[in-house]
Structure 1
Amino acid sequence: MSLPHYWRTPLCLAPRPLHPWLTERGSLTAMLMAHFPDITVRVLFQGWQKAHQDEADILGPKSHIACREVLLQSGQTPLVYAHSITSGSALRKGFHLFGRTGSRPLGALLFADPTIRRSGLSWCCIDQCHPLWKKAHAAVGKLPKKLWARRSVFYAGHDKLLVTEVFLPALCQYTLA
């Protein structure tokens, strides 16, 4: 996986309460469900769009990608903005269920299939210039100037699905016991 340098930020720079969330190798949704009541997935967008530059570097030079953007929330409190993308050919092959996930957690699909592999996690602090900060802001309103995010690629054979999760203020304030 080719990542821009800023997606290789040392974990020690992230706030300590975020470390367990940033480093969880299993389903983030399952982890959220274990700590928050009433976790729901609110679909913000599902369709085709142009890849952001740092995404195109990972998926290759494709002009348009299949995209799914959701908020993971507890009740009405948004906790995570998630942005997942894949190519059109991957929609027809390894990730054919991606387009039909609806309001179900994507992790339920990814972690239920033992043939799907996951890359290592990477993380960074995104600011107001990053397109995903802007999308999270459009979805939830007022945000701090910087947000922590993590990213990984899921593989179904040669097909790739890039998942980026942006951690929102309500989650950043929660400390795991």
Structure 2
Amino acid sequence: MPHTAFWHSPLISSPRALRPWLSERGSLTERLIANYPAFSVRVLAQGWARAHQDEMAILQLNGKTAVATREVLLCSNGTPLVFAHSITARSSLRGGFHLFGRSGSRPLGALLFADPTIRRSHLAWRKLNHRHPLWQKAVAAAGPQSATLWARRSVFYSGSDQLLVTEVFLTALLSSPCRTI
């Protein structure tokens, strides 16, 4: 099943100022660094967890399979701007995404976009609300947020290995001044 199966909200329905962020094909990390001062990555969790319901089909997992998971906040001056959630199968840690488990506080995007052999799928986006586990995790990590948050996701491929990256854009991203969008 393609990663867009549950992620098909029309981009036109997102806030105008957020559209360039949602549709950016390049590195979100590089864009944040270019637009916000004092960029930092705050690692929230890195380990094993169950995939969310809308992630299982993408990586062709059953509900009992634990996946390698990394959750971080991308911040400017300590203010969380993006909650990022990435998962991959255990076998991918021995293959194309062997650096995933050892990325520490380095931005994952820096690793992915530095390797010319890694391919990226199309982007898909969706508006999340309190019922979605990623909205819940974003609020738990970053504090109170809007009733709905926009997120985007894509799959990175290294050979036959897959890494699903989902980025939830927090309220502060649009309320914080930045140099350019």
TM-score by structure 2 length? 0.94
1:129-177, Cα deviation, whole Å (9 max, x unpaired):
0000000011011111100000000000000000000000111235745
Show the counterpart of 2:32: 32
- CA root-mean-square deviation: 1.3
1:160 is the counterpart of 2:167:
no
Tell me the distance in 2 between the aligned counterparts of 1:90 and 1:52.
18
Read off the aligned partner of 2:114 and give its amino acid letter: A
Read off the aligned partner of 1:128 and give its amino acid letter: H
Aligned length in residues: 177
CA contact (8 A) 2:151 2:169 kept: yes
How far off its partner does 1:3 sit?
Answer: 3.5
Percent identity at matched positions? Answer: 62
SS in 1 for 2:116: coil
TM-score by structure 1 length? 0.96
Structure 1 segments unaligned to the other structure (5+ residues) = none
1:141 is the counterpart of 2:136:
no
How far off its partner does 1:4 sit?
Answer: 5.7
CA contact (8 A) 1:17 1:173 kept: no
Distance 1:111 1:3, change over 3 A: closer
1:33-77, Cα deviation, whole Å (9 max, x unpaired):
001000000000000000001110101124110000000000111
Read off the aligned partner of 1:161 and give its amino acid letter: L
SS in 2 for 1:90: helix
Read off the aligned partner of 2:36 and give its amino acid letter: F
- Runs of 4+ off more than 6 Å: none
Structure 2 segments unaligned to the other structure (5+ residues) = none
SS in 2 for 1:67: strand
Tell me the distance in 1 between the aligned counterparts of 2:159 and 2:97.
10
Tell me the distance in 2 between the aligned counterparts of 1:94 and 1:152.
16
